[in-house]
Structure 1
Amino acid sequence: MQEGYGTKVPTNQLIRYAILFYWSLFWLFNIVDKFIGGSLFLWVGRDRFAQFQKFFASAGLESPIIANAALVIAAGLEVFAFVFFTGALIYFLRKKQDSSRSWFFVGIIFTLITFTIFSIGDHIFGDRFELLEHTLFWFLTLFSWIAFIRLNKNTAPQPLLQKKQLAAASLVVVLLVSITTISVFNYNSNYFSRRTDALNAEKVGENIYKVSFPFLGGSTVFEKSIEKFKKEYPGKSINHIYTVPNPLRLKKADGLIFYILTEDKK
């Protein structure tokens, strides 16, 4: 080994390892997000059960059983994808290339099926943002398989980085990790309360009040907002709560706008 160089490894094997590691970590975080089902300290997740129920209700299927069953099936596909990608990674580290390729192929199939189902659902429910995201991941999955196969040939080990390059790369990594960590802790310290705090109701008409949800606001925000409204307006009784139709709130991310219709207590 020449002086000034780091460990020699085949570049193609390093890329294949990165592909396996990425997809294993990707599905792991997706599974954890579904188990958490909301927001915790240092974790800004989403209530997937509420999201699926909202999607199916918009299509006229208001039974939560149907939405929950669909979510369980989707979660099952993700678990299978995670298992096979992780298995492929383990076999790859053990230098069992054929087994790694077989497990990776099955993981790719489960991933393509998952994103295909999600994309069809996005079409049905009219969620263009999710459709774009799932379509991009579908093509990324296909590209990952092509890259993994094309890099299957063994090449001679090559020096990766010189000492100065390694030091510079390490500095960049530490800087990026530090910025990300500071950003996450800053959000949890200053903005996480938006996920749980009650919202103010804005009066927009006679006995009509509007409440606009923050980004990723969940059921906790809704319940606390209603409770706060009752305390602030003890002389009002709530008759109806209406949500704004989807076409009118497409630009509000996945935030919710609802109106509270009241009348004076007798």
Structure 2
Amino acid sequence: MKHLLNRPIITVIAGYWAMFWMMNALDKIFARQDLGFIVWYGNHRVEKFTMYFDRLGYGPDSVWATLMFAGIVEAAVACMFLWALYKIAKNQPGAIRLNDRAIAASIIVFFGFAVFDVVVGDRAELLEHSTYVGVLLVSYLAGAIEGVFMHLRNTQSTVEPAE
């Protein structure tokens, strides 16, 4: 676990996006369900998707299928970030590359959401999903900058002091 502190920015980025995607997935999977210990209200996705699909001429069965599909995709992206965190914690090679791929997968998912937003005419959701793409790009840049600073720090620590 001490290796998580070696890359604090990447660790926070991967942790945030893992939580974000997992909570989003659960919000779709448990939408409006009583789980016994809590009623999962979340976003009003069922109502929104019912409205969208009515516009498109699809029945209510399509709503649940679409929400489940989106939830599974989001859970998969969350698992990519969790796997990257695990690899960072164990100081395994490829952790940063996996984090970068999870960011790319996130951008692809948001691109898909944006296309859906255009098709159903929800400009507010389009703006939200487009904003998340920008935040993901900033996340990528922050991780890349951390790598540059680490390289500079390691280079400076191996240089002999001038006399």
TM-score (norm 2): 0.75
SS at match of 1:95: coil
SS at match of 1:79: helix
Q: Is this contact kept in 2: 1:119–1:134, CA < 8 A?
A: yes
SS at match of 1:46: coil
The match for 1:110 is 105
More helix, by proportion: 2
SS at match of 1:62: coil
SS at match of 1:151: helix
The match for 1:144 is 139
The match for 1:120 is 115
Give me the whole-angstrom Cα distance separating, in 2, the residues matched to 1:128 and 1:114: 17
Q: Is this contact kept in 2: 1:123–1:131, CA < 8 A?
A: yes
Q: How does 1:88-103 map to 2 (within 5 A)?
A: 88-96=84-92, 98-103=93-98
Q: How does 1:34-53 map to 2 (within 5 A)?
A: 34-38=28-32, 41=38, 44-53=41-50
The match for 2:80 is 84
CA-based RMSD: 2.3
Q: Does 1:18 align with 2:12?
A: yes
- CA deviations on 1:168-198 (whole Å, 9 max, x unpaired) are xxxxxxxxxxxxxxxxxxxxxxxxxxxxxxx
Give me the whole-angstrom Cα distance separating, in 2, the residues matched to 1:133 and 1:39: 25
Count of aligned pairs: 144
- CA deviations on 1:216-239 (whole Å, 9 max, x unpaired) are xxxxxxxxxxxxxxxxxxxxxxxx
Greater relative contact order: 1 or 2 (C-alpha under 8 angstroms, separation 6 or more)?
2
Q: Max radius of gyration: which structure?
A: 1
SS at match of 2:94: helix
Give me the whole-angstrom Cα distance separating, in 2, the residues matched to 1:132 and 1:123: 10
The match for 2:124 is 129
- Structure 2: where are the runs of 5+ without partners? 155-163
TM-score (norm 1): 0.48
Give me the whole-angstrom Cα distance separating, in 2, the residues matched to 1:14 and 1:42: 35
Give me the whole-angstrom Cα distance separating, in 1, the residues matched to 2:74 and 2:30: 15
Q: What amino acid sits opposite 1:25 in the alignment?
A: M
| Over 6 Å off, 4+ runs | none
- CA deviations on 1:29-60 (whole Å, 9 max, x unpaired) are 1122123212765854135344322212123x
The match for 1:58 is 55
SS at match of 2:147: coil
More strand, by proportion: 1
Give me the whole-angstrom Cα distance separating, in 1, the residues matched to 2:62 and 2:26: 22
Q: Is this contact kept in 2: 1:77–1:110, CA < 8 A?
A: no
Residue identity over aligned pairs, in percent, reads 26
Give me the whole-angstrom Cα distance separating, in 2, the residues matched to 1:131 and 1:125: 10
SS at match of 1:144: helix
